[in-house]
């Protein structure tokens, strides 16, 4: 039988995200508590319309400043919508959407980390050269065979997400023989390749909403701590997704409370980074979590 002290220790071991460090362009970043990644979409068709920002310097910088003040330590900039069924856009168009935002934010707020949300090697390379610090790839290198070698060459951290297919086909690829083991196997196989290329810093994203139906998304969240066996920081991107608004029978614009509830669950299950549209509310959730468990 566990004593009160040992029981508390056991709970803490399960709940507390592990301390981790990232090497970013000569900087050693050490995080002991969960971090917030704010989403900056430069796409006209993101699923959450209130997150869309016109490619206007003043609007981009205003949004970035607000997110930083509200508690974001990372800003994730994307110019290619990955919502289910989203239209494909050319590489040139993606570059035109992403690069000005990266450049503007890097010059105005050099202290914040910038993540570029892309699966294309050219976009990743140019964005990092313009000031981005992290490459956030939804595809695990499947949609551009040059991406992983490029990230290795750039020497920046890499966010590895679980996905089957692409944004146009992923919702037709939700059949699994053994769901959790297949996801773990996916990451193990990808990590083997990534390590061989020499990428040193990897963050795991289970890919909520990608190639998963509603029940699978909740089963994955319920068992998120299983990914801690990989020994890497975990990013949870739950913000206003269909697994929330469809279950609650509301619109993405009405899914903030549901998002907040699931973000707390993700933290309790070991998430190290929360990728969100609503930084202020997420920071409040994080403060409550830290009060409970820190």
Residues serving a catalytic function are 241, 275
Contact 119, 143 (CB under 8 A): yes
Residue 223 Cα distances to 81, 216, 243, 271, angstroms: 28, 10, 16, 11
CA distance 237 to 76: 11
Residue with tokens 């004593």: 3
How many CB atoms are located within 10 Å of the residue 222 CB?
11
- Residue count of the chain: 294
Q: Which of 135, 65, 130 is nearest to 100 (CA)?
A: 130
How many CB atoms are located within 10 Å of the residue 110 CB?
9
CA angle 71, 75, 81 (to 5 degrees): 130
Residue 193 Cα distances to 12, 47, 65, 267, angstroms: 33, 32, 37, 28
DSSP 146: T
Q: What angle in degrees, to the nearest 10, is found between the helix axes of 214-222 and 179-197?
A: 70
With 0-12 / 13-18 / 19 or more C-beta atoms within 10 angstroms meaning exposed / middle / buried, residue 152 is: middle
* Sheet containing strand 202-205, strands side by side: 202-205, 158-161, 134-137, 113-117, 74-78, 35-41, 273-276, 235-236
Contact 208, 238 (CB under 8 A): yes
């Amino acid at each position: 039988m566990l004593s009160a002290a040992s029981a508390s220790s056991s709970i803490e071991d399960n709940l507390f995200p592990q301390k981790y460090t990232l090497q970013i362009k000569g900087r050693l970043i050490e995080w002991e508590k969960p971090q917030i990644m704010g989403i900056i979409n430069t796409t006209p068709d993101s699923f959450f319309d209130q997150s869309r920002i016109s490619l206007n310097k003043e609007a981009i910088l205003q949004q970035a400043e607000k997110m930083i003040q509200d508690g974001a330590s990372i800003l994730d900039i994307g110019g290619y919508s990955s919502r289910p069924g989203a239209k494909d856009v050319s590489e040139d168009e993606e570059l035109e959407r992403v690069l000005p935002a990266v450049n503007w934010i890097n010059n105005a707020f050099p202290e914040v980390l910038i993540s570029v949300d892309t699966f294309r090697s050219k976009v990743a390379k140019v964005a990092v050269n313009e000031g981005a610090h992290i490459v956030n790839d939804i595809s695990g290198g499947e949609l551009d065979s040059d991406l992983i070698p490029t990230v290795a060459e750039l020497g920046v951290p890499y966010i590895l997400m679980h996905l089957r297919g692409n944004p146009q086909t992923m919702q037709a690829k939700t059949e699994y023989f053994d769901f959790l083991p297949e996801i773990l196997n996916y990451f193990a196989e990808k990590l083997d390749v990534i390590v061989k290329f020499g990428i040193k810093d990897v963050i795991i994203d289970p890919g909520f909403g990608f190639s998963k139906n509603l029940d699978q998304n909740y089963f994955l969240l319920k068992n998120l701590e299983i990914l801690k066996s990989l020994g890497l920081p975990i990013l949870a991107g739950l913000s206003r997704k269909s697994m929330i608004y469809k279950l609650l029978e509301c619109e993405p614009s009405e899914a903030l409370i549901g998002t907040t509830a699931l973000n707390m669950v993700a933290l309790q299950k070991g998430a190290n980074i929360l990728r969100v549209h609503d930084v202020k509310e997420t920071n409040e959730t994080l403060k409550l979590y830290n009060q409970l468990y820190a």
